[in-house]
Structure formats: C-alpha cells, structure tokens
Structure 1
Amino acid sequence: MTEVRHNWTKEEIAEIYNAPLMDLIYRAATIHRENEDYAEVQISSLLSIKTGGCPEDCSYCPQAARYHTDVEVQALMQVDQVVNAAKKAKEGGASRLCMGAAWREVRDNRDFDRVLDMVKAVNEMDMEVCCTLGMLNEHQAQRLADAGLYAYNHNLDTSEDDYKRIITTRSFDDRLNTIENVRKAKISVCSGGIVGLGETTDDRISMLHTLSTMKKHPESVPINALVPVKGTPMEDRPRVPIQDMVRMIATARIIMPKSVVRLSAGRTEMSLSDQALCFMAGANSIFAGEKLLTTPNPTFNEDMQMFETLGLTPRESFKERKKAQVVEN
C-alpha cells in the first residue's frame, strides 16, 4: 500500500511533475488503483449563496466589486432557496453541496446565522455540506462545525512567492491561518489551486509542496483550470493545455494518495477524452451542475452520460465517516 508522506521536498515533487507524461500517468494510475473504489467519483454541486460585490482583488474572479463584469450582485439567499437547490443537486446525483459566499471574511452577524441554518438544513438531507466563505477565526469555524459542516474550502490558488501578483487584499499566511482554524474545529479541509494564472512550473510545484507537507493532507484537493472572464485582469489568459491539468492531477495523486483530487473549473472546455485522462491520472471528484458559482459547467445529464461511458460510479455521501464507524464497531 502507498505510504502517506508529509516530508516531500520540492525537488522530489519537481521530478514527479516533470516525468515523461505517459510514465507520470501510469505511476499515478497505479497508486490510484491501490486505493479501493478507484472508479468511484464524488459529485459535488457548487451554489453561490451570495454573489458579487466582494471587496477582494483576486485577479481571476468576476465577483470582485472593483472589476466591471457581467456578474450581478445578489444578496444572501434564503434557507428555503438553498434547500430547494440541494434537493435538485441530490436528485442529479450529488452527494455534497458546496455553498460559496463572495465575502472577504465571515462576520458574526445575522447573515452568518442564516448560513448556519443553511448548513443544518442541508446536513439533515444526508448530504455533505461544504462552505467557502472567506477567512474564518477559530470561534466561527467551531460554530460551523457545531451546525454540522462537513468540509470547508479555502484554496491556496498559487504559490506563496506568486501570491501577491494574484491577490493583494490578503496574504498567503491568512489562507494558512484559516485552514488551521478549520482543522482545529475538526472540519474536513478542501484546498487546492488554479492553473493558468501565468504562474511558473516552480509556482505549481511550490503550491503542491505546501499542501503535501501539511501535518494532515487536505481531504479534498481541487485543481482548477482558469476560466478567463471579461472584465477581470486575467481575461486574456490563454486556455490551459490539458497536459498541464493532467500533470497537476497526477502529481497531486502521487504525493497525496489518500486525498480526493477534484477536477474542478474548466471542464466545459475539455473533451470526453481530456477528462478521461484526468480520471486515469487520479482525479476522483468533480463539480456537477450548470454553474460553478458564476462560470459555466457541464450539466448533470452530460456527466451521467460520461460516467456511463467511462465506467465510473458516483460516491455515496459521508463515505469516510461511515468507514470509520465500521472500523470502530
């Protein structure tokens, strides 16, 4: 069985990432198949519960208030609206609902109280609940945990050295502090990055190094291909070559063998064979549904057809928790 390591060096990761592509895919696929249920793919649905008007300056994001994009600012959704969206997602095959709010950080107010009610309501539907709400302190993370939150997403986006080029309104350490607060509350961590921001190969390797040397690897590692949006500083970035996505996914699979690696944003630009290569290389999670917050995504029906073609099956909710309970009993 593959050893889970937390002492990877950048040199080791670079050697893996830069290996001949076919050898890299084979190695990652071999490690992926050592883990049971390699053909199981977690389906998550991503819902924007509060859209636009964000004070941050993330240069890829159409929800930043300072950029002129087609995104319309929308107030925080009502709990019943979220429950209805969760029902549709569950009927489509999703086992996890991820709720995103365009906030810089969580504030202790009525909006946060409403989010806690959303978490409780979706949790009662036997769906894993994930939130991405910006920065959190320890107390806020604990309140989310008490409400039944299963996972919290807080992406690193890029390397520590490259971070200020992409975002100036918060620091890389702010990201790590929030992840640490999530860990303390015993909430599952979802953290990955974006490929195609103009970063170097060294930046990609450095970001993967940060994730793989955490005391506990993130349970979920999303690998996003940049979706350039008109009106943002990244609007003219070229499309990420599929081999770059495959290299990132395969490397993540090798150095974090037990993590769920999510093929996230950018799938609308990928063919069936492109996505098949990503699954072969170790991806075992996707976002399904027509939108990823504000950008297009394949529909549930399209994904179900793909699953049938590739022989993939949707993963049930709370699988890790259920496995742990079986071991305890």
Structure 2
Amino acid sequence: MDLLHNLALGLSVAVSFQNLLYALLGCMVGTLIGVLPGIGPVATIAMLLPITFHLPPTASLIMLAGIYYGAQYGGSTTSILVNLPGEASSVVTCLDGYQMARKGRAGAALSISALGSFFAGTVGTIIIVIFAEPLTRMAQKFGPADYCSLMALGLVAAVVLASGSVIKAIAMVFLGLLFGLVGTDVNTGAQRFTFDVPELSDGIDFAPIAMGLFGIAEIVVNLEKHLERRGGAIKVGSLWPTREEIRRAWPAVIRGTVLGSLLGVLPGGGPTLGAFSAYTLEKKISKNPGEFGKGAVEGVASPEAANNAAAQTSFIPMLTLGIPSNAVMALMVGAMIIQGIQPGPEVMTKKPDLFWGMIVSMW
C-alpha cells in the first residue's frame, strides 16, 4: 500500500503542466545532443546548471534527468544512419547498426533501437521503484579488489572476443591502457604525459577517440568515392522489422535490459559500460558470432536496451545514498545542492514529492 501511495504521489507531481513541460524540454534537448556528435549530456547539463537557480527543484531535476536519458536514445540515430556515434554509449551500435543500414534495413534498425530503448527504460524505472534499496546495498559491497577484477575481466574479454589476430588484440588493449595513463593522477595531482597541453590534464576523452575511429574515418572513406557512385546512399526504408528480426531482437533486448540495469547501479558503470558489456555478451552466446559487425540485429537491440536501462538505474545510488555513479549523476547531485537539498537517504522521507515525482517522470 505504501508503494501505491508513493506512486500516486509521484504521478500527481509528474503530470502537472509545468513538470510535463520540463520533462518534454529535457527529452527533446537530450535527444538533440545525442544526435549531435561530441557534445554529450555531461557538457550540456554542466552548461544548464545555472538555469536551475531560477527553477523549482522538482522541475529542474526532471529536466536534467530528461536530458540524460534522452541522450542515450538520440545517439543511436547517427550511429545507424551515418556511422557517427553521437554519444559514447552509442559507439557499439555503429558496428552492426550501420551495416544494417547499408543493407537497406536502416528503418528496422531505428525501430528496434526505439522499441528496445522504451522497453528498457520502462523496466529500469520499475526497478528503481521496487529494488532501489536492495540494489544499492549490493553496490556498496563492491570494494577495490572487486573493481580491479571486473576491469581485468573486461580486458581479457576484449582479447578473447576480438576477431583476427590475437597479437593485435593484445596490442590494442595495451594501447588503450597507455591512453588511460594520460591526465592528472588522482592521488598525487601529478601531470602524466600531458606534454604541457592543458586540454590533456583531464585525460583523453572517450568521445573524441570514438569520433576519430568511426566518424572521421567514415567521412574520409565517403570523400574518396567518385561522384558517380553516390547511388549507394543510405535509405531509411520501411520502419517495420521483419518477423525474423523481431524474433532475434526481443531476447537480446531482455538480456541487455537485465545487464544494463545491474551495471547502472555500480559506481563507475553506466550506459557506456552497459552497452559494451551487452554487445560482448550477445557475441559470446550467439550461435553465429561471425555475423556481428556485419549487420546482426542483436548487435543493435541489446546495446541500445542496455544503455537506456543503465541510464535509469544509475539514479538509484544518487537518489538513495547521494553517491554519484558517474559524471552526470555528480552534476545532478550538484543541482540538488544548488536547490538546498542534501542528497542522501533523507530525500525519500523529507522530499517525497521530489523523489517520487522524479521517478514517475522518467516514464
């Protein structure tokens, strides 16, 4: 009964005209920045934080949350159509989404992405409502050794699942580790491999690397083609997936939703980790792993579901403990502090209208 009472309270807050308007505005802005490469929700929310001074607390947080999970869906559009990830969590969607588009199935890929995102977002919201407290307790049990093991597992999986030369796969893993060394040491504050370039003090961001590997490379390839060969332009075509595509997509969506929901709760997790992990899982359990990278439906459905589910459940430690699980959640904590709200477990009891209103607004 308490749960139903809380949901009724949240619904009454979320469906007010003002909050619906800010939810719409946040989702529209989030989808737009997801489509535009290189901006991302972190920069957008950081720029919009001063606006929250003049907005009611609930409306401002609903708008910022809408920007965050709107960006997770928007990034899939350019990933599928032009092989250009608008958001870091959509990088892996390029691998099979763009290949589906080249085969004339761009519309189906966009539909699968939208439906998978909606399903995962809905499930993620339900998980926040029902399992917020138990999932947060589980995340608290992760210590340094657990995170080190998780990262080691990811590096090993990158080598095991790579196609082609194992030596090249190992070399790329070490190259990635070297890129990760660039920036400011969090313990000593020393500058590592920045070469007196101020922009490198925060490290090498993932988005520019993804842009270089996928976006710029694709632009250069297209520029090399002769003008008379323009007939191969991407066409969206029918938005309806075939029965076979639906049959293959829905189990992948469910697996991606479950995996993304779990990884979203963990500090340092979030949509990007969820999307890559979901893609890795699908390729590992597939009967035809050779199809991945050539237009596999599962390679679109699972990562898109995972990044949306992870975006939703990453609110759990922030709302219940005041602990941000990623950079966007840290900005959300900042927005709450600006409004005079102390993030933590007391938000549920002292500000139930804000807590439950924000959760219901996600749907």
TM-score range, shorter chain: under 0.3
More strand by share: 1
More helix by share: 2
Instruction: Return the TM-score normalized by structure 2.
Output: 0.24
| Structure of greater Rg | 2
Instruction: Return the TM-score normalized by structure 1.
Output: 0.26
